[in-house]
Amino acid sequence: MIGTHAEVWKNCLSVIKDNVHPQSFKTWFEPIVPIRIENKVLTIQVPSQFFYEWLEEHYIDLLKKTIRKELGPDGRLEYSIIMDNTSGPNGPFAVNYPTSNHYATKNPYVSMPIDLNRGTSKDIPNPFIIPGLKKIKVESQLVESYSFDNFVEGECNRLARSAGFAVAENPGKTAFNPLLVFSSTGLGKTHLAHAIGLQAKHNFPEKTVLYVTTEQFINQYTESARNKNINDFVHFYQMIDVLIIDDIQFLTGKDKTQDVFFHIFNHLHQNSKQLIITSDKPPVELKGMEPRLLSRFKWGLSADLQAPDYETRVSILKKKLYNDGIQIPAEVINYLAQAINSNVREMEGALISLIAQSSLNKKAITLELARQMIDKFVKHTTKEISIDYIQKVVCDYFGLPIDQLYAKTRKREIVQARQVAMYFSKKHTKHSLAVIGLHCGNKDHATVLHACRTVANLVETDKQFRVFVSDIDRKITQ
C-alpha cells in the first residue's frame, strides 16, 4: 500500500536528509513541494529549470534510490518546474558547465610586497610580482564580520546566498562560474561577496582568495601600465584561486582594463578557478561593457538580491544588535524595519544614528526618539545618485521629455540640457566620461568633456545660468 504523495515525499526526505550536507538539504530539498502520485510516479515541484538541472546533476542517484525504496523498482520521479522568473528582471538565468580543462599550469612564482588595503584612492600600488621569489601570502582583503553567519537569509536573497554557499564549498567546480550577484545599492552584494570569500578560505586554507573592488583593479592596472609591468599585473591575478571583483559596473567604458580583465577571466575560468562578480545592474544593462565579456558573465549564474521583506529586515536589525551586544525595545526595531524598506545600508545607518543619539543625549531609546530621528534621517539621507536620476531632474527642470536627451538634434535647449546632465553626472557619479557619454545619447568622451567645460564657463559668466545650475544641483542632492 503506497501512501499519499505527501507521505511518500516525507519518507524520501528523511532518507535524503541523512545523506546530504544540512546546508545542501536546506537549499535543494526543502523548497521542493510534492504534488501528486499516480501509477507509481511521484511528481515534485521545483522552483526553476536551474533547480531541476542541479538536482539531476548532483542528486539523481540518491533520488532514484529513495524513490525505489518507497515506490518499488518501477517507481519513478517527475518534475514540475515553476516557470516564473526567479532571476529577476534579467530574464531566466543561463547555466553552463565549466570546461573541465585540468591541464597543469604552474603558477608563476609571485609575491605581493604591498598592502592592497590602502583605501581606494588613486595611489594604490600595483601588486608587483618579482619572478623567482617564493610565493607569499596574498592579503585577501576580506572583512571578517561580512560572514555567512551574519548574512540573514530571506526570500530576497535565497538563490544568490545558496549559490554563493555552494561556490564556497566547491570553488571553481560548480556550474556557478562566474557567479554574478547583482542588485541596487545597499542590498548586500559586498557582504555576500565577502562571505563567499571567507567561507572558501575557511574550507580551503591553501587556496588564494582575493577580494578587490573594481576601482582598485582599475587603479592597479593604470599604475602597471604606467610602470610598464602589465605582465606582472596579469600574472598576479592569474594565480588567484578565488577572485572576487566588486562593482564591475565601474569597468564600463574602460576598454583597456576590460581587455586585460578578459584575459585574466579566461585564464582563471579555463583553470577552474572561481570568479565572483558583483554589479549594480543585471548584465544586460551594463552598457559600455564589451560583448565578449558580457557573454562570459552568462557562462555561470546571475542571481539578484531583492529588497528584503519586513520579517527579514527585522531579523537583520536583531542580528546586528545582538552582535553589538545592544538591546533596544522590540517596538523600536519594528518601527525602523517599517520606516526604511528599500535599502539595508540605510536601515542600519538609521539604527546606528539612533544608538548614537541616545548615548550622546543620555536618552533611552524609545519609539518617540526613533520617530524624531527617522524624520530627520530619512530626509537627510544621501542617496546614491545615478546618471538616470540626474537626467530626470534636469529634464523636469527644463520641462523637456527625457527621450529628447537621446535624440539627434541640435536644438539649443536640448543641447544645453544634455550638457547640464553630463556636467552633473561628472560631478555626482563615479562614472567615466565615456560611460556618461554612452548614457547621454551615445556621445563620446570628448563631447562630455566639452560639455563639462562649457557648463563650468557659463556658470562663471552667465548669472541666469548660474541660478539654473545651482537650482538643479539642489534638486539633485536634496
The residue ranges that bind Mg ion (CB under 5 A) are 189-190
Give yes or no for residue 180 binding ligand ADP (CB under 6 A).
Answer: no
The smaller minimum CB distance to ligand ADP, of residues 196 and 458, is found at: 196
Give yes or no for residue 187 binding ligand ADP (CB under 6 A).
Answer: yes
CA 390 to CA 388: how far, in whole Å?
Answer: 5
CB of 407 to ligand ADP, least distance (A): 33
* Residues 126/229, Cβ–Cβ less than 8 Å: yes
The smaller minimum CB distance to ligand ADP, of residues 189 and 431, is found at: 189
The smaller minimum CB distance to ligand ADP, of residues 152 and 245, is found at: 152
CA 347 to CA 370: how far, in whole Å?
Answer: 12
The smaller minimum CB distance to Mg ion, of residues 40 and 345, is found at: 345
Angle, alpha carbons 275-276-280 (nearest 5°)? 140
* Residues 302/182, Cβ–Cβ less than 8 Å: yes
Q: Which residues contact 199 (CB under 8 A, 6 or more apart)?
A: 147, 148, 165, 168, 169
Give yes or no for residue 186 binding ligand ADP (CB under 6 A).
Answer: yes
The number of helices, as runs of H, and strands, as runs of E, in the chain is 18, 8
- Per DSSP, the three-state class of 196 is helix
The smaller minimum CB distance to ligand ADP, of residues 169 and 348, is found at: 348
Tally of CB atoms within 10 A around 69: 13
Q: Which stretch binds ligand ADP (CB under 6 A): 179-187, 331-339, 402-410, 462-470?
A: 179-187
Give yes or no for residue 188 binding ligand ADP (CB under 6 A).
Answer: yes
CB of 124 to ligand ADP, least distance (A): 20
Q: CA 19, 23, 29, 33: dihedral to nearest 10 degrees?
A: 140
CB of 258 to ligand ADP, least distance (A): 21
* Residues 230/224, Cβ–Cβ less than 8 Å: yes
User: Binding string, 127-166, against ligand ADP, x = CB under 6 A?
Assistant: -----------------------xxx----x---------
The interface partner of residue 183, options being ligand ADP, Mg ion, none and the CB cut-off 5 to 8 Å by kind, is ligand ADP
The interface partner of residue 452, options being Mg ion, ligand ADP, none and the CB cut-off 5 to 8 Å by kind, is none
* Residues 162/174, Cβ–Cβ less than 8 Å: no
Looking up cell 545597499 gives: 186
CA 246 to CA 142: how far, in whole Å?
Answer: 12
The smaller minimum CB distance to ligand ADP, of residues 183 and 238, is found at: 183
CB of 353 to ligand ADP, least distance (A): 14
What per-residue string of b and e applies to 437-474 under the rule 16 or more CB within 10 Å gives b?
A: bbbbbebeeebbeebbebbeebbeeeeebeebbeebbe
CB of 213 to Mg ion, least distance (A): 8
**Which residues between 331 and 360 bind ligand ADP (CB under 6 A)?**
344-345, 348
The interface partner of residue 87, options being ligand ADP, Mg ion, none and the CB cut-off 5 to 8 Å by kind, is none
In the set 27, 48, 177, 190, which binds ligand ADP (CB under 6 A)?
190
The interface partner of residue 348, options being ligand ADP, Mg ion, none and the CB cut-off 5 to 8 Å by kind, is ligand ADP
CB of 192 to ligand ADP, least distance (A): 7
**CB-based closest residue to Mg ion:** 190
Angle between helices 412-428 and 387-398 (to 10 degrees): 140
Quick one: three-class SS letters along 338-394?
HHCCCCHHHHHHHHHHHHHHHHHCCCCCCHHHHHHHHHHHHHHCCCCCCHHHHHHHH
CB of 100 to Mg ion, least distance (A): 32
CB of 437 to ligand ADP, least distance (A): 25
**CB-based closest residue to ligand ADP:** 188
The smaller minimum CB distance to ligand ADP, of residues 154 and 172, is found at: 154
Q: How far is CA 57 from CA 51, 320, 467, in A?
A: 10, 37, 64
The interface partner of residue 254, options being Mg ion, ligand ADP, none and the CB cut-off 5 to 8 Å by kind, is none
CB of 432 to Mg ion, least distance (A): 19
Looking up cell 578560505 gives: 201
Angle between helices 189-203 and 158-169 (to 10 degrees): 20
**What are 145's three cell numbers?**
564580520
CA 265 to CA 271: how far, in whole Å?
Answer: 10
Q: HSE of 448 in the Cβ direction (CA atoms, 13 Å)? A: 23
The smaller minimum CB distance to ligand ADP, of residues 23 and 454, is found at: 23
The smaller minimum CB distance to Mg ion, of residues 58 and 345, is found at: 345
CB of 44 to ligand ADP, least distance (A): 28
The smaller minimum CB distance to ligand ADP, of residues 354 and 421, is found at: 354
Q: Return the closest-CA partner of residue 475 out of 400, 410, 393, 363.
A: 393
The interface partner of residue 187, options being Mg ion, ligand ADP, none and the CB cut-off 5 to 8 Å by kind, is ligand ADP
Give yes or no for residue 316 binding ligand ADP (CB under 6 A).
Answer: yes
Residues near ligand ADP (CB under 6 A) are 150-152, 157, 183, 185-191, 316, 344-345, 348
